[in-house]
Amino acid sequence: MDHKTYLFFDCECANCFDGIGKICSLGYVLADDELNIIEQEDLVMNPECDFDWYLFSPKNKCQLAYSKDYFRANPNFASYYKKIKKLFTNGNTYVGGFAVANDVGFVNSACDRYYMDYILYRAFDVENLAEKVFGCKKKLFEWAEFLECDTSILTSHKSVDDAVVTLMVFKKICEKLQKSPEEVLKENKDFFVNTEEVAQAAEERQYKKEMTAKIKAYYNKHSPNPIRKKYQGQKFELNKKVFSDLDRALNIAKRIYDGGGVIMERLKGAGNVVFLDDSIEPEKKASMEKKGLKIVLAEDIEKINV
């Protein structure tokens, strides 16, 4: 019989500045095919970056489990890379976590920071499973309480403890469903994410962030030397649907700027609102006109040779 093992993991980060999480601990718990714990460990590491001050603030209810000095006294991610890769890529092991796409992303970011190849694996999201089974949202330790797991000696936001609690929650769900862990995973394949998918999603988020910043760089700015004066003295607001195509939105913003117009994040008086098309409800159109707002179509701005 082919016996599987189950690896649940969790990461904590020193900071997530610029949308990039810098891992300072990766905790895991390894269990057999009946979800009995075989081993567990907290891989505490030096993030080699500043810590977000809020993590150690008295106002933060979920502080990190160790001191800054203890984190810094440990090896960095690169030192643990081979061990983590071996754990995650054992062909006989299922990998899982809670809101696991975040943790997969943190590992990817660490690989990027240290110029190491991505660790290729799939990970199952226990959070999505719990939400499907019970029809509601909860945090990890809230699920543990809801399912009557004993977490009395465990600490939230200690990576290894969070991994253990994730295992506990998964085990309780399997018991409720009266199915083996492998049956539950096979029946919920949509709850797996893989390294490449998470990396692609991160790239798309970064692209969206950069493009949105470029568009908003035109906000509240007058061109000192407009190429044409088509929109001289006019104010504009971009309808949120314009941002569905960021390349197009940037082109529109540039044309308005080059035409002498000014883009506002929100118009507080009369002005022009740019829409992608004219499929606007008559009631909304009438309400806008009443406020002195004129509807301008994206294609009309794109026709202007500025």
What CA–CA distances, in Å, run from 93 to 75, 87, 96, 171, 190? 26, 8, 10, 16, 18
The domain ranges of the chain are 5-207, 217-303
The 10s digit of each residue's pLDDT in 179-215 is 999 999 999 999 999 999 988 988 898 899 999 999 9
Check residue 305 and give its pLDDT: 61
Check residue 91 and give its pLDDT: 84
Check residue 269 and give its pLDDT: 86
Question: Whole-number mean pLDDT of the chain?
Answer: 93
Check residue 74 and give its pLDDT: 97
217-303 is classed CATH 3.40.50.10190: yes
Q: Going residue by residue through the chain (306 aa), what tens digit of pLDDT does each one get?
A: 567 999 999 999 999 998 889 999 999 999 999 999 999 999 999 999 999 998 888 888 778 999 999 999 999 999 999 999 999 998 899 999 999 999 999 999 999 999 999 999 999 999 999 999 999 999 999 999 999 999 999 998 899 999 999 999 999 999 999 999 999 999 999 999 999 998 898 889 889 999 999 999 999 998 888 887 888 889 999 999 999 999 999 999 999 999 999 999 999 888 999 999 888 888 888 888 888 999 999 999 988 665
The 10s digit of each residue's pLDDT in 35-80 is 999 999 999 999 999 999 988 888 887 789 999 999 999 999 999 9
Q: Does the pTM exceed 0.85?
A: no
293 contacts 270 by C-beta, under 8 angstroms: yes
Asked whether the CA dihedral 242, 247, 249, 255 is positive or negative, the reply is negative
Fold observed for domain 5-207: Nucleotidyltransferase; domain 5 (3.30.420)
Q: How many other C-beta atoms are found inside a 10 Å radius of the C-beta of residue 300?
A: 10
Q: Which amino acid is at 278?
A: D
Check residue 230 and give its pLDDT: 86
Asked whether the CA dihedral 153, 41, 166, 100 is positive or negative, the reply is positive
